[in-house]
Amino acid sequence: MYPPVRLVAIDVDGTLLPGFGKALTPRTGRALEAAQEAGIVVALATGRRTDFAAPLLKGLSLRADMPLITSNGAVLRTLGGNTLDRCLLPAHVAIGLCGLLRPFGVLVFTFDRPGGRQLALEDLGKAERQIAQWVEANRDDIEVVKPLENVLDRGEDPIQGMIAGRVGKMREAEAALKASPWNEACTCVKTEYPGRDLSLLDLLPLGVSKARALENLAERLGVSREQTMAIGDNWNDLEMLKWAGQGVIMGNAVVELRSMAEKSGWRQALPNDEDGVAVVLEEAIAQRATTEI
């Protein structure tokens, strides 16, 4: 029997949202609010940057101190904008990654610039062909710089890099990175969407992950691993699911991850388009209420 949940970290795309570019369902929004009211610390844990994640919660009655783990763990910031932790990718490492990975797909670097253009890439046309939905959602924050190394020579370290493309090409890119000296200078985290033949490799500061950020957050809050739940659907959630005492894999998760659920002790939730997160939160709230009686 698991102890009542005190902290839950929830992935966004493929987990919290019913689909990319869609808003939270009313039931999911109510579940987030109810979980906070019940005393559960609700945190987002996403590969999105903070300014692309926080607006999803607009209109909900959520606390300003709600934690947002963004850029796959590189930034820990509250919904109210208070920065708790931040890790940067050294510019010289980012420059090295440009030369290595440019041939494989669309390369993007993210900078922590509140109110400014936070995304830099060098071929907008290529990006529009390969990751059109992402470009459309982020267009106002994109700066086109060619060659991309020029933006990295300005003395500003990025939060992370990302390379995107077809699944097969990203597997080639991942293999090339692992065989290079740059593999020891950064952390590479994969997200795959086989149905769309799309894969993303996030290039993070060394040692950064959602799991590490969640562990740090739990320590800050005085919450044990056993009282921490993580909910996710993709490879960039794997270490977080492993670290949390209560892992939940979505019913729409990639097949390989779902096959790991029983062996790993993870619960399987309903898919994201069936309010899977809301159902899990409602049950966690009910368990807390029963325990407190």
Q: Which CATH number goes with the domain that contains 105?
A: 3.30.1240.10
As for how many domains the chain has, the answer is: 2
106 with 177, same domain: the answer is yes
* 17-27 residue pLDDT tens: 998 778 999 99
pLDDT reading at 144 higher than 90: yes
The reply to whether 196 and 248 lie within a common domain is no
Q: Has residue 268 been placed in a domain?
A: yes
Instruction: Tell me if 21 is assigned to some domain.
Output: yes
Domain closes at, from 205, 228, 256 = 205
Q: Based on the domain organization, do 95 and 56 belong to the same domain? A: no
pLDDT band at residue 292 under the 50/70/90 scheme: low
Choose the final residue of a domain: 158, 179, 205.
205
Mean pLDDT of 81-102: 96
Q: Is residue 135 part of a domain?
A: yes
The residue segments making up the domain with residue 155 are 91-205
Sheet holding 75-78, edge to edge: 83-86, 75-78, 67-70, 41-45, 7-10, 228-232, 246-249, 267-268
Does the predicted model carry a pTM greater than 0.85?
yes
Residue 149 maps to a domain? yes
pLDDT value of residue 254 = 87
Plot region of 215 (φ>0 → left; ψ -120 to 50 → alpha; else → beta): alpha
Domain's final residue, options 205, 231, 255: 205
* CATH number of the domain to which 29 belongs: 3.40.50.1000
- Is the same domain home to 100 and 183? yes
Confidence of residue 283 (pLDDT cuts 50, 70, 90): very high
- What's the mean per-residue pLDDT of the chain? 94
* 80 and 97 together in one domain: no
Q: Is residue 1 situated within a structural domain? A: no
Indicate whether 211 pLDDT > 60: yes
